[in-house]
Amino acid sequence: MADGYEKAKLEVHAEDAKGDLPKDVSFLFNPEAIRVTKTLKPREQRQAGQDAAHLQFTGGDSLKLEFGEILFDTFEDRTSVYSTHVQGLEKLIHVNEDLHRPPRVLFVWGQGFGDAGGKINTGTWYITALDVNYIMFLPNGTPVRAKCKLTLTEVPDDSNPSKSVKNSPDTAHVHLVSRGDSLQAIAYEEYDDSSQWRRIAEANGIDDPLGLSPGQRLLIPPILK
């Protein structure tokens, strides 16, 4: 093992390990830094008599994990580092014909980052960027060492249909308040109209529209036409 490097791997999700996809891709890993980025895109709603606009948090960009210095080394074996390692990694960034999307992966490394098993965020990721730099060759031109940079993008959680499918505005139902929710944002999510927040406030006896609590249940009244 190269000095300072530890073993890590990208483990293909069990449901996606089909056809010629590898079950996992192992590599040597010694990051100088790991960059995690997440961007929210609030929509500003200005109201008369207010110095600042209300922010509606209706969505954002996916969480991204960026790191470099993944090392593949086949010098001692005198085999191609491409066919042994990099080719399998490339398969994980392409859209798979059977899945109609790239395969999902888990990043497994060490014990100090993520859950007890070392899987960051215990979530699944897509590989959305790959940069390979071949740095050593045999006299016959066979590449035997490569350094890579990767970007992983979180896989959205579609297990809860209420997160991706809006309820009909003509049917009453209950909305579970999440951290950062506002009545304006909930009205936009439910009715496509943030100005309908007063309808929700009146139905739930809310005097302070900013006083929502995570876990609070709100009755979403229908809009009858």
Tens of each residue's pLDDT in the chain, 225 residues: 455 556 788 899 988 988 888 888 888 776 666 788 888 777 666 655 566 666 666 567 788 888 777 889 999 999 999 999 999 999 999 988 888 889 999 888 765 444 444 445 457 899 999 999 999 999 999 999 999 999 999 887 654 444 444 555 666 788 888 887 888 888 888 887 888 888 899 999 988 877 888 888 899 888 765
Task: Classify residue 179 by burial, with Cβ atoms within 10 Å: 0-12, 13-18, 19+.
Answer: exposed
The pTM assigned to this predicted structure is 0.60
Which residues have CB under 8 Å from 69's CB, separation 6+? 29, 30, 31, 32, 147, 149
Which pLDDT does position 75 carry in this prediction? 95
Instruction: Give the domains, in start order, of the chain with CATH numbers.
Output: 6-154 (2.40.30), 166-220 (3.10.350.10)
Distance in angstroms (rounded) separating the CA atoms of residues 159 and 150: 27
In contact, 29 and 8? CB cutoff 8 Å: yes
Distance in angstroms (rounded) separating the CA atoms of residues 14 and 21: 11
Which pLDDT does position 110 carry in this prediction? 62
**Cα-based distances in Å from 114 to 20, 37, 95, 101, 107:** 29, 16, 27, 26, 10
Which pLDDT does position 183 carry in this prediction? 87
